[in-house]
Amino acid sequence: MRSLSQNHPQGFGFFLCLFIFTSSLFSEPLKKFKIVIDPGHGGTKQTPYEIYGDKYDSVSGRFLEPYKNGAIFKDRTEMEIVLEIAREIREILELTKTKKGFKKFQSYIRLFSDSETPWVRIEPILTRSDSYTDRNFREKDDKNEPYRLYNFPDFSTGKMREGRISFINREEPHLVVSLHINDGGPRANPESGGMGVVLSPSYQTFELLKNISEKQATPEQFFSTPWSNWMIFEKGYTRLESAIADAWIYFHGYWPDREGTKTNLDRFEGYRYNMVTWRYRDEDGWEDRVSQPDTPYAYEHAQFKAIGPYWDRERGKPEFLKREKGPEGYGGDNHYAGVELLRFLQYGLRIEAKDSEPYKSPNPILGPYISTYSLPALVNAISAYLELGDIRSDKDIYFLTKKKKKTAVSLAVGIYSLLVGLEIRKQEIPTLPRGKRLEFEKYIHKDGKSYFKDLQERENEK
């Protein structure tokens, strides 16, 4: 109860605790939450990627990149491992739909906490329930059709269909949990593992990088921020060069040259916010303004204008709360939600470990992976984007496959804690969960509508 009341004024906190305690005695759940579980990938690198890939560009009329099929090593495939874990999490969370089932769910909670646990109903939704290998595709069939992130034209009709990001936003979830496994590559030490979260900063950080590119700010200003440990995703680039390249992609859709001063028109990542069905898309006909100065489609930084509904969203308070500062010091609620679930996973994988097991504890949580990732930036919900391990690490894969149920239980209880709050039982482990609930109240507009719900309501008004 302590963690539920500590974030409220004293008087209201006492009333809330009393209400929760008495409500748990009744036959209906205290509150209902919707959670989207997104097992990464599912498709394949079908060629040519201009026809079968992802990121469909309505300007050029083709896909801009191959479908990201996920990490593969020997007989291990990321898309299958995370799908199995996602199915387990869904099954466990579905216990909360009935009072009898919630009693079973409480037995999992008791592995982590002695708190009184109110009944809340959690509706888990998967973004995919199979992989392309589970379907009887013919050679020329579009094997990526059920699994794309972005909107795309239907092979047979030519009409636009919605990808997974649009699907997630239409579901209006409170929280999105995206499951992945990374590949550190043959030169990395697999024994260090690969557990971490993926973050996308907010407009404010990308604006700083844009200013550095234009010589209106200094690199030292970036290095003094917690974001300076950027993911290097281009061979030979420094962290600053990678960050500046990401800022160009964020604003323009184009890569810059290595110096970050000029647009590379041969490397286009697309106007991603216009590849999604939501109220933040630009109005029809926006393609006619591509390359024009004083628009979001100008090629150069100096001519770029961040105008339109998407850029208003990006500068808004809710996205700042999701992606900056927050309980972890940076990364906002996205960072907290992601690393808190990994702390629950660390806790759960350590309890009741047997001497006969080859591994007694998991690899540690690593620092965040930082880039312009799609889901953390483009879903209208708090996003916990998880890298559960390294595909090359025997230890990581052992826990994710042989201890699949324990992995799923840990993440499911962590999701419950993010929604309600738990007082965690103390253990001598390096990464104890905080048990603090997400403050969804911060995302309520003055008119009483939730920022997460507002998206679809405005879409329906058109």
Q: What is the mean pLDDT of residues 25-50?
A: 89
Q: What is the CA radius of gyration of the chain?
A: 22
Full domain range(s) for residue 291:
203-317
Say yes or no: 52 and 190 in one domain: yes
pLDDT at residue number 301 = 86
Measure the CA–CA gap between 96 and 443, rounded to whole angstroms: 25
The answer to the question of residue 220 being in a domain is yes
The answer to the question of residue 323 being in a domain is no
pLDDT > 90: what percent of the chain? 83
pLDDT in tens, 93-129: 999 999 999 999 999 999 999 999 999 999 999 999 9
The answer to the question of residue 378 being in a domain is no
Say yes or no: 42 and 163 in one domain: yes
Measure the CA–CA gap between 284 and 274, rounded to whole angstroms: 10
Say yes or no: 212 and 261 in one domain: yes
pLDDT in tens, 314-334: 999 999 999 999 999 999 999
pLDDT at residue number 161 = 97
Q: What is the mean pLDDT of residues 69-90?
A: 97
The answer to the question of residue 13 being in a domain is no
Say yes or no: 305 and 362 in one domain: no
Say yes or no: 186 and 56 in one domain: yes
Point out which residues pair with 65 in neighbouring strands.
Answer: 54
Total Cβ atoms within 10 A of residue 265: 10
Say yes or no: 169 and 274 in one domain: no
Q: Helix 99-109 crosses helix 78-93 at what angle (to 10 degrees)?
A: 120
The answer to the question of residue 18 being in a domain is no
Total Cβ atoms within 10 A of residue 168: 25
Say yes or no: 117 and 236 in one domain: no
pLDDT at residue number 1 = 35
Measure the CA–CA gap between 327 and 25, rounded to whole angstroms: 32
User: What is the domain-level CATH number for residue 84?
Assistant: 3.40.630.40
Q: Is the pLDDT of residue 14 over 70?
A: no
Q: Is the pLDDT of residue 263 over 90?
A: yes
Q: Could you give the residue ranges of the DSSP H alpha helices within 356-442?
A: 374-378, 394-401, 404-420
Count of domains in the chain?
A: 2
pLDDT at residue number 26 = 46
Q: What is the DSSP letter of 285?
A: T
The answer to the question of residue 420 being in a domain is yes
User: Whose CA is closest to 26, among 148, 150, 144, 118?
Assistant: 118
CB 371 within 8 A of CB 200: yes
pLDDT at residue number 456 = 52
pLDDT in tens, 177-219: 999 999 987 767 777 899 999 999 999 999 999 999 999 999 9
Say yes or no: 264 and 214 in one domain: yes
156 pLDDT band, cuts 50/70/90, is confident
Measure the CA–CA gap between 309 and 328, rounded to whole angstroms: 29
DSSP strands (E only) in 354-456 = 369-370, 382-390
446 pLDDT band, cuts 50/70/90, is confident
The answer to the question of residue 212 being in a domain is yes
The answer to the question of residue 414 being in a domain is yes
6 pLDDT band, cuts 50/70/90, is very low
Say yes or no: 176 and 241 in one domain: no
Say yes or no: 140 and 220 in one domain: no
pTM as predicted: 0.92
Say yes or no: 351 and 445 in one domain: yes
Say yes or no: 37 and 171 in one domain: yes
Q: What is the mean pLDDT of residues 389-406?
A: 96
